[in-house]
Structure 1
Amino acid sequence: MKKAAVLKRLKTAARQAGLEYREVELTNHTGVIVGATRSTIGRHSEMPDQAAKKFWDQFASELGKGWWR
């Protein structure tokens, strides 16, 4: 799955939930902030589907369990 598609899906869900969404460029990763939850994602253009689901799962406290399904 493309990194841009992963971030776009997260951004759309955050906006629908009325939460703040920000991306911050760090040294080797991109920092993503949704509401009060922070996480990082590598700068690779592609990522495995399992990795994308685990990344999205980090935001389950903000967006609800299984929000990406």
Structure 2
Amino acid sequence: MKRIAVLKKIRSAAKAADVEFQQFELTGHTAVRVGRTTRTIGRHHEIDDLTARKFFDQFAEELGGKGWRR
């Protein structure tokens, strides 16, 4: 999955859930904050599907529970 698509999916889900979304660049990673949860994702063009799924699951509490991405 493209990195841009991962970030876009989280951004749109945060907007739909009316939760604050912030994205900021660190040295080698991008930090993403959704509500109270902050996680980082590497700056690769392609993100492995398993990695993307785990990244999405880390925001499940903020975005409406497990399976919000479907």
- Please provide the CA RMSD for this pair: 0.6
Structure 1 residue aligned with 2:34: 34
Unaligned runs of 5+ in 2: none
Provide the rounded CA distance (Å) in 1 between the counterparts of 2:27 and 2:2.
20
- TM-score, normalised to structure 2, is 0.95
Report the 3-state secondary structure (helix = DSSP H, G, I; strand = E; otherwise coil) of the residue aligned with 1:30: strand
Task: Give a deviation string over 1:14-55, Cα, whole Å, max 9, x none.
Answer: 000001101010011000000000000000010111110000
Provide the rounded CA distance (Å) in 1 between the counterparts of 2:16 and 2:36.
16
**How many aligned residue pairs are there?**
69
Structure 2 residue aligned with 1:10: 10
Unaligned runs of 5+ in 1: none
Report the 3-state secondary structure (helix = DSSP H, G, I; strand = E; otherwise coil) of the residue aligned with 1:61: coil
1:43 and 2:43 matched? yes
Identity value in percent: 58
Report the 3-state secondary structure (helix = DSSP H, G, I; strand = E; otherwise coil) of the residue aligned with 2:68: coil
Moved over 6 A (4+): none
User: Counterpart of 1:3 in structure 2: which amino acid?
Assistant: R
Provide the rounded CA distance (Å) in 2 between the counterparts of 1:18 and 1:12.
10
Higher helix fraction (1 or 2): 1
User: Counterpart of 2:51 in structure 1: which amino acid?
Assistant: A
